[in-house]
Chain A
Amino acid sequence: MALIEVEGVHVRFGDRVVLESIDLAVPEGEFHGVMGPNGAGKTTFFNVLTGRVKPSRGSIRLAGEDVTGLRPQLIAAKGVARSFQIMTLFDDFSARENIMVGLPAFRVRGFDMHRAASADSDLAEQASDILAMVGLTDRADVRAKDLSYGDRRALEIAVALGQNPRVLCLDEPTSGLGTDGVQRLSQLVSQLKRKLTIVAIEHDMEFLFSLADRISVIHWGQVIARGAPQELQQNEWVKRSNLGRFA
C-alpha cells in the first residue's frame, strides 16, 4: 500500500477546471518529483494534498486513511509538512524560534499559558539540531527577516523538518537559489531520501532528474506522463513540451 494515494482528484475554480482526474500513488520513502509549465496546476495539487484547497471530487488517502478535504492543521498533525514557493516564515522570530514553534512537542503545549516558552531548553536543542542539519547553526538567533535569501529557503525546509513529518512537500525549493545553494539543498535532500517520503514541485530539471525516484508531469491540470527520470527523458509528451531539455 502506498503512503499517499490520490484518486481522481478534480479541482474547479468557478468555470475553470484546474485539476482533472489526478491519480498518484507514492510509496513510503520515495522522492516523487512533480514538474510542469507555469499554470499547469502543480501548486494547486500541493494545496489539495496539504488541505489548503478542497477538491471538487476525488479522494486522498494517507497511509490508508481518508484525509480528503481535511483542514491544513489536521493534515499537518497527521505528519504532512510543506514548504512554500513564496516563503512564509515568521519574520520577527529568530531562525531557532521559527523551528521551535513547529516542533510537535511545542504544538502539544500550544495552550500552555503558565510556563515561559524560552525556558524549555529541550525544545531549543531540538531546534538547534535541525538548524545544524540545514547549515544554519551560526544564524540561529538571527531574525528570519534578516537572513539572506538562500538561508531563508533553507529555513523554510528546516521548519517543515521540525514537524518530524512522514511526508515532506517541497514547493519549488531551489527557486531563487544560486549554484551553491542548490548544491547544498541537493546534499540535504539526498540525506533525507528514504528516511522521508518527499514530494517536490521543481522547475530545476537537473535537480529533479538527479534526485527523484519517479516524476509526474502535469500539464493543463492532468498528469501527462509519469515514470523514472530515465524513462521520462524518452517520453514523447515530455520531449514535445520541452520540459526535459535540461535532463
Chain B
Amino acid sequence: MIATYQSDSARLITPTMMWLFLALATVPLWIARIGLYPYLGIEILIWSIYALAFNLVLGTAGLPSFGHGAYFGIGAYAFGLCQFNVVANLWVCLAAAFVIAGLAGALVALFISHRRGIYYAFMTIAFGQIFWTVAIKSHKVTGGEDGLLKIARLPADLGFASIDLAGNVSFYYFVLLVFGVAVIAMWRLVHSPYGRVIAAIKQSETRAAHLGYNVWLYKASIFTLSAAISGFAGGLFAMAQLAAFPDVMSLHQSGYVVMMTLVGGGLVSFWGPVVGVFLFLTARDVIGALTNAWMLYFGLLFMAVVLFRPEGVAGAVAAAWQNRSLYSMRRQGGSALRLLFGGGRWR
C-alpha cells in the first residue's frame, strides 16, 4: 500500500486518472440513452473543478471556508464582464475569471489568515455575504438578482483553428480537457513540497512555525489559489449557463460545495469532492425527477455520512478496500499485523 501511495503521489498522471478520463470521454455517447443529458456532464465536470479547488482549503489545509461560492460567482461575473467590456476572447475571459477571483480571495486572505477554527469560518461567511450583497445591489454592473445575461460560449481560438463550443457536446469535451488539466495540476500541487507543507500546517500550525515556515503566508496563498481556481470554474459555469447569477454566491449555495466535499470524502481522499459532486448533481436530477423534496433525501444522506462515515464515501471505499486486503492477506497466511501497522493509506 505504501509503495502504491508513494509511487502514485510521484506520478503526474496516475492510472486512476487515466481510467477516469477515458470513462468521462465516453459520456456523451451513452448519457442520453439512460435518460440523462450532456449538460449534466458539463455541470458535474465544472462543479468537480470547483469542489477540488475548495478542497485545497478544506481538506488539504484544514481551513473551514463556508463562503467559497463568492469566488465561483466572481469568476462567472468576471468572465461575462470581460466578454462585454474588454474583449470577447475565451482565453482572456477565462484568465480574467481566474485573476479577479484570485484577487478577491487574496483580499479576504489578508484579513482571515491569522485566524483559525470557528473564527476563520465566520470570517469566510461574512466576506462571502459581502460579495453576494454587492453582486445583488450592483444592478448596473451585475444585473442584480436578474443576473448577467446573454453571455456567449466563446469559440476556442487556437491560432490556426477556431473550435465552436456552442453545442453541449463540443463544450463538454472542452470542459473535460480543462478538467483533466486542473486535476493533474491540483494532484501535483497536493503532493508537491508546497502541498505537504500545507498538510503539515493543517496538523500543527505551531510545529510548522517552529520549523521555520511562515504559516500566515502559506494559509493566505492556498486560500488565494483555491479562490482563483474556483473563479476559473465559475467562468466555465457562466459559459455553460450563458449567464451569471448571484445565487451561486449565497451562503445557501456555498453550503452545497461543503456538502459535496464532505459526502464524497474530501477529508481523506483527493477524489472525494468529485465523488460528492457526482452524487449530489445526479441525485438532484434523478431523485428531483420523482420529488421536489430531493434535497431532503440528500440531507438525510449527509446526516448519515456525518454520523456513521465522517470520512465520506471515499473513506468507506477505502475501509472496504483495506478489509479486502486484510482478508486476502489472511488467506495467504501473511501477517495481519503487518498490514495494520504498515501505515498504508488509500488516496
Contact = CB atoms under 8 A, between A and B. Distances in A.
Check if A and B associate.
yes
Interface of A: 50, 52, 71-73, 76-77, 81-82, 84, 88-94, 97, 100-102, 104, 106-107, 109-119, 141-143, 146, 159, 163
Interface of B: 2, 6, 9-11, 188-189, 191-197, 199-200, 203-204, 206-215, 218, 221, 341-343
Determine chain B's interface SS by DSSP, over half rule.
helix
Given A76-B210, A163-B211, A110 B204 contact: no
B188 A141 contact: no
B343 A143 contact: yes
A107 B213 contact: yes
A151 B168 CA distance: 58
A109 B212 CA distance: 12
B203 A92 contact: yes
A173 B14 CA distance: 42
Given A89-B207, A119-B10, A141-B343, A76 B212 contact: yes
A152 to B, nearest CB: 13
B204 A88 contact: yes
Contacts of B206: 52, 72, 84, 88
B192 A101 contact: no
A72 B210 contact: yes
Given A92-B199, A107-B213, A146-B341, 18 more contacts: A71-B209, A76-B211, A92-B203, A93-B199, A106-B193, A107-B212, A109-B193, A110-B197, A110-B213, A110-B218, A112-B194, A115-B192, A116-B188, A116-B191, A117-B196, A119-B10, A141-B342, A146-B343
Contact of A113 (B11, B189, B207, B208): B189
A90 B193 contact: no
A163 B207 CA distance: 12
Contacts of A97: 196
B211 A101 contact: yes
B192 A72 contact: no
27 contacts: A52-B210, A72-B206, A72-B209, A73-B211, A73-B212, A73-B214, A76-B212, A77-B212, A88-B206, A89-B207, A90-B199, A93-B200, A94-B343, A101-B200, A104-B212, A106-B193, A110-B194, A111-B194, A112-B192, A116-B10, A116-B11, A116-B192, A117-B192, A119-B10, A143-B343, A146-B343, A159-B211
Contacts of B204: 88-90
B202 to A, nearest CB: 8
A117 B191 contact: yes
A225 B239 CA distance: 74
Name the residue among A101, A112, A141, A143 with the largest chain B CB count within 10 angstroms.
A101
A141 B344 CA distance: 9
A119 B210 CA distance: 25
